[in-house]
Amino acid sequence: MTLAYVPGDSFAHRIDPRSKLLVQAGFAAAAYAYTTPRGLAVLTLLAVGCLRLAGGGARDLWGYRFAAPVLVLAPLVAGATLGEPWFRLDRAADTALASYRILLILVVAAGYVRSTPVRDSRAAIQRTVPGKPGRFLGVGVGLVFRFLPLLKRDLLTAREAVRARGGEALPVRDRMRLVAVAGINRAFARADRLGTALNARCFAWNPTLPRLAFGRGDYPALAVGGGLLLAAAVAVAP
């Protein structure tokens, strides 16, 4: 599965993107405020519920597999020491909880990406952040969502090309260098073509964006997002 919008008629597809952004912000704040296993257990249920309400499942997390090695190795690296006792379980446990928090945030993000068109995300940001900063952020978000899957596909294509030319016999470092150089070259080429296309189409800072409106289904999402932000504020308050 790729990190892209999937058309559907789920609950998350039908609500306003601003509501979903509030839920994401509230969830991230709560994940960093409630770091105990009990708190993370509750947030796990909420994260899975967000993904299911977007019509997604475990397969949608495959697009985030690049983060898995870091999340798995981080506790091992944090717990290792250069002397006695050689491994600190307390440090490893704290880092493991931190890695799990990041995983939960990625689960909620997967539900948002799956249920929100790029144009709706841009419209939500531009109408939330006023002025040219909002338009700048909206353009940036739109380009990231559109080009991240393409860049990922370019890297996979470069890897397959190296493999087809007998690259499996090369050391891992050399294979990584070849794939990285090919990916960077394609990224720069896409950036050049993007700039030319924007100039040719008379790129405007204020394009016609889809109309956004809160509906009946947004009120539960707004309540959840606001409640998570309030719970996080209460947890960190002195």
Half-sphere exposure of 179 (CA within 13 A, CB side): 23
Distances (CA, A) of 236 to 10, 30, 98: 34, 10, 17
3 pLDDT exceeds 70? no
pLDDT tens per residue, range 99-142: 899 999 999 988 998 898 888 888 888 787 877 777 767 767 76
209 pLDDT exceeds 80? no
Compute the distance between CA of residue 25 and CA of residue 222 in angstroms, rounded to an integer: 11
The answer to whether 126 and 138 have CB atoms below 8 angstroms apart is yes
Compute the distance between CA of residue 152 and CA of residue 227 in angstroms, rounded to an integer: 36
- 3-class DSSP state for residue 194? helix
Specify the pLDDT at position 199: 67
The mean pLDDT value of the chain amounts to: 83
